Amino acid sequence: MDHHLLLLQGVVTTWNRWGKAVHGDPALKFRAKCLSFSGPVTFQFSHNKDIILAGNRDGSLRLWTDDHGLFCEAELPLSRRTVWLSRQIRSNIFRGMSNGCADGSDVIDRAGGWEVTRATLLEVSVAEDPRQPGTGVWIGDELDDDLPADVLAARRLWRASRRQPGISARAARQPGALVAQIDRLLALPRPVACSRAGRR
């Protein structure tokens, strides 16, 4: 990894689990693989569109799903802001993640809240108090022993999900890197089919 970059990894959301209602908004449950991220998606701090730290269009943000949830990996350029964020994460102040989706999501009104069946993902964020259970964020070089138990559980899901990695936008523009990633994919066991359809 480039030592001038900060590597963040995380679980953005987990499927089929009810979150909590916040500020009068209903609780949400995301149906498995309901989120589409074929368009531009940014990595933000606390859903602040003025603080965009990475994005999938230039390959600095990678997103993928499996049967458990939505996962990410982001490479952030070192700056005062990202160094501060790193310290907040290591201090266990910001250890959760959240997502923001486009208007017009398909939802079903359930007794416990809204079940999201299709949505278009616009951004993922580091969050202090995430609405959805099972999320987590950590610095790539943090040791397992340094993570809170819930974040370590999220990291284990993240690691298992890497058996079916996505191909980043950056690699897609670099033929040599793309071929190398395809070779690695072909050497892996056949992955479970992964849907990228939907919109929230």
State the pLDDT at residue 24.
86
Q: Tell whether 198 is covered by a domain.
A: no
Residue partners of 63: CB distance under 8 A and separation at least 6: 12, 37, 41, 56, 70, 71, 72, 121, 124, 166
CATH code of the domain in which 51 resides: 3.20.16
For residue 43, the model assigns a pLDDT of 97
Asked whether residue 26 is assigned to any structural domain, the reply reads yes
Question: How many residues make up the chain in this entry?
Answer: 200
Residue 194 lies in a domain: no
Specify if 71 maps to a domain.
Answer: yes
Token pair recorded at residue 151:
């974040």
Strand-pair category, 42-45 with 48-55 = antiparallel
3-state SS, residue 91: coil
**For residue 199, is it within any domain?**
no
Q: Is residue 200 part of a domain?
A: no
Q: Is residue 164 part of a domain?
A: yes
Please state the domain count of the chain: 1
Q: Does 86 map to a domain? A: yes
**Amino acid 27: pLDDT:** 96
pTM value? 0.80
Q: Can you give the pLDDT of all 200 residues of the chain as single tens digits?
A: 555 789 999 999 999 999 999 888 899 999 999 999 989 999 999 999 999 999 999 999 999 999 999 999 999 999 999 999 999 999 999 999 999 999 999 999 999 899 999 999 999 999 999 999 999 999 999 999 999 999 999 999 999 998 765 534 343 333 334 334 434 444 544 433 333 333 33
| Rounded CA separation 143/124 (Å) | 24
Instruction: Find the helix or strand (DSSP H, E) in which 155 lies.
Output: helix 149-161
Range of the domain at 134: 5-187
